Chain A
């Protein structure tokens, strides 16, 4: 049997797992159309909410160039990447356990980290599509400002964010491997991030001590960078501080989470609970 170089082989496996999820999703065609309209309703809700809450005082707290509608739309759309990262790894593990494919996947020539990484691709791509639809509806119907946005900068912030968030997601999957249910890792990270991360309001409105806590949460830098790139028209070099902090989070979280995940995986093979619910 001819063997490809390891990297190409891994990339091909990631693509296969992505195509698997795409093919499964394609078999539920109506769901995608429904999601497009869901995004329309979500976008419309934020627009009308912003008309209700907008005031000169609020305008002064927002970053330059932003109104509350665009501020909240970017916040909610990109905060969802954190939700996807936290749920996609343990979600794919849970799904494989439930549909009975986990054992068959685990006896292949593909390691569990590659299986989980490949299984997370489709949710991230779908999330990007959903975000684009959110923003698209916002731009077409409610005046979301697209002109002057630094899309390359936004992509760099997004890439660094996904890496940092994935570290948290792998930690979450490690918890699920060991304890099976009731994942407090997700609950704590999502809860804390939604309060202090600046999703719906600028962190400047928080008490000073909470603003300090916000500096330890990756989504804070992700939303700052994203709003800077899309709404504040910041140049890429102005986004570098946010990107650097996100990469530092990733550099710390990814090796730590992989080490914990490896330990959890080995432990479940020792205790015999790998495929238990």
Chain B
């Protein structure tokens, strides 16, 4: 297991049914009956890039949140660099960098530098280490002019760069991105992808797992693709492997064919 950056064995996640009125008071202790993930198993080797694709509600974000220790799996085992997310969450958090596609994830009245120093400190970096690391990331992440501006004055694209820089501050082994280009315009998204390819995928050998609805992005960045549908893993292979399995010419066709074949148990 220790040879894999990510390893999932029969991971299942159930949530309680939504309740209103007086029933809402017992919801926190009610039974977990709504399936979000069922029997998910796959491995990702160090340095690999895995993309997760699937419709809304397929379970992509749930899976990412399990890997970031924000959720506890109902059954099964998920490990990051050999550490179990449920039993060793602190050790898992030491290995990961996490960035979501939202642009409201910083203290907007603080400068970019103040935000980075804060999160670096919360990740156990001393002020000297954090300053050195920020200086290292400034050029590749294009942060030079932005560092001493309040975050509320930055564009969405720049906030994303800053988010990625924050995720990379403590040199994580695994980078976890949830729809990283969700709120970017097409040009900014293309630039961000180029940036990911050059600085993260190409440069550092960091393992990356990301969820995306943009198939071009998936094809451009990922070495391996996991297709989720209704909480089940339909396929996890290279682009060529997925096309072969679906006997399709493109990823889009493969997605259509594989999800049409899958039993629609979970809605």
B9-41, CB under 8 A of A: which get 1 and which 0?
000010110000000110111001000100000
Known: A179-B25, A266-B72. A107 touches B93 (CB 8 A): yes
CB distance from B167 to the nearest CB of A (A): 9
Within 8 A of A (CB), among B99-125: 100, 102, 104-110, 114, 117-119, 121-125
* Range of interface residues on A (Cβ < 8 Å): 35 or more
Flag if A104 contacts B121 (CB, 8 Å): no
Flag if A105 contacts B122 (CB, 8 Å): yes
Q: A101–B15 Cα gap in the complex (Å)?
A: 24
Contacts of A108 in B (CB 8 A): 93, 119, 122-123
Q: A173–B25 Cα gap in the complex (Å)?
A: 16
* Nearest chain A residue, comparing its CB with the CB of B169: A108
For the complex, would chain B's binding face be called helix, strand, loop or mixed by DSSP majority? Answer: mixed
Flag if B105 contacts A100 (CB, 8 Å): yes
B68-84, CB under 8 A of A: which get 1 and which 0?
11111010000000000
Contacts of A267 in B (CB 8 A): 28-29
Flag if A13 contacts B122 (CB, 8 Å): yes
Contact of A12 among B71, B105, B121 (CB under 8 A): B121
A87-102, CB under 8 A of B: which get 1 and which 0?
0000000000001110
Q: B155 on the interface (CB 8 Å rule)?
A: no
Flag if B28 contacts A24 (CB, 8 Å): no
Known: A24-B107, A266-B72. A3 touches B124 (CB 8 A): yes
CB distance from A119 to the nearest CB of B (A): 12
Known: A23-B110, A109-B93. A103 touches B121 (CB 8 A): no
Flag if B125 contacts A1 (CB, 8 Å): yes
Q: A61–B117 Cα gap in the complex (Å)?
A: 55
Among A2, A103, A104, A106: residue with most chain B CB under 10 A? A104
CB distance from A170 to the nearest CB of B (A): 17
Contact of B72 among A20, A269, A273 (CB under 8 A): A269
The 5 closest A-B pairs by CB, nearest first: A100-B104, A108-B122, A27-B109, A16-B121, A110-B122
